[in-house]
Structure 1
């Protein structure tokens, strides 16, 4: 099993914990639920990275085939799930700005803004790779953006 499965699982548990705590404190919940739904779609897509890392490390051919078949079934929906994730995160951001205003001095707002921009570029790079040019460089850019999205999401949860 890849370390990414453990990191993704830890981030999901941490995010769920934050959501439960936030639902107890806030009287308006839809911005929290929009953000969590977008996060879950992102982490579902990002888990494909863990699947590929596991395929590379596992020696058992049957496990490799099983994981590759699973990934192949998900692939046609990967870009659409990422796009829907971005739409939900954008709605989350708009709702937060509407409810609380835009305060660029807040680390929560700043990390959320950086994560949103990163997610937008991540989605664009995925569509670029599908529609225009799929090569090693675009794949590496896409994976790098995914890693930075993971880190920015963790920072957003922290603040």
Structure 2
């Protein structure tokens, strides 16, 4: 099977590291990502500061140059988006997958998060995940590794 390299990008506290661990089958407590984190299959977890601080956009662009898919992660309980329009379009030809994280929280509003993401340029399918929902994590894993079409819906 071909390896599909992807990078998780999003703001500070979006749940990227928790998702990165879940996709790798790890249940460890996430720690603040201070630098790029890679796994042996080509997946990458990026610091939230890469999105939050314009002076670090260059680091985001450079570090994601060799991935096949950019995964923009936005928490279901965050009403603001710091993603500048067009930032993730810099690499033409890359697949862009939207992920709404933290859908299991009491203050989660995944519909509002999806609307916000659409206004910021995330087009196509947006998947909703929760740390304690193995079905949602497996669905994302299948999409990222090319075993399921992005357009396929799940309950």
Please give the TM-score of this superposition, normalised by the length of structure 1.
0.28
**Structure with the largest fraction of strand:** 2
The structure number with the bigger radius of gyration is 1
Please give the TM-score of this superposition, normalised by the length of structure 2.
0.29
